[in-house]
């Protein structure tokens, strides 16, 4: 005879009596068996459609963010190397020499 289940247990679950402990077994891999059959424990993650959609969107943005970080790093490496004369990644275009400051006088005007 099994003892009564503790408070809060489902109706169809009963505790194991002392005489039932002989039906439990364990193998060398520490897997649990009941009457010679392996007891399987499955932990499955079930997501709703909305959760799957949000996870997909977050994944896409995470990949885009990683790609943006990589491209930014590559650009910074290019600028760093160009400043040291290494043109392995190519260098950005440089502007012409800056214009001299304007004196405010027209060239035909004499001082």
pTM given for the model:
0.45
CA distance 83 to 73: 15
Model pLDDT, residue 5: 77
The 3-state DSSP class for residue 76 equals helix
Q: Of all helices (H) and strands (E), which one includes residue 87?
A: none
Model pLDDT, residue 64: 98
CA distance 74 to 109: 52
Question: pLDDT per position in the chain (111 positions), as tens?
Answer: 666 778 888 888 888 888 888 888 988 888 889 988 999 888 788 899 999 999 999 999 999 999 999 999 998 988 888 888 888 777 767 665 565 666 666 556 555
CA distance 81 to 87: 7
- Tens of pLDDT, residues 53-81: 999 999 999 999 999 999 999 989 888 88
Model pLDDT, residue 107: 58
Nearest to 17 by CA among 26, 5, 9: 5
């Amino acid at each position: 005879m099994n003892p009564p289940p503790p408070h809060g247990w489902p109706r169809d679950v009963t505790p194991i009596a002392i005489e039932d402990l002989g039906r439990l077994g364990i193998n060398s891999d520490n897997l649990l068996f009941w009457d010679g059959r392996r007891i399987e424990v499955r932990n499955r993650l079930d997501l709703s459609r909305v959760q799957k959609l949000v996870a997909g969107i977050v994944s896409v943005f995470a990949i885009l963010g990683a790609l943006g970080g990589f491209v930014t790093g590559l650009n910074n490496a290019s600028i760093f190397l160009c400043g040291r004369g290494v043109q392995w990644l190519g260098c950005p275009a440089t502007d012409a020499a800056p214009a001299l400051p304007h004196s405010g006088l027209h060239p035909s005007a004499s001082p």
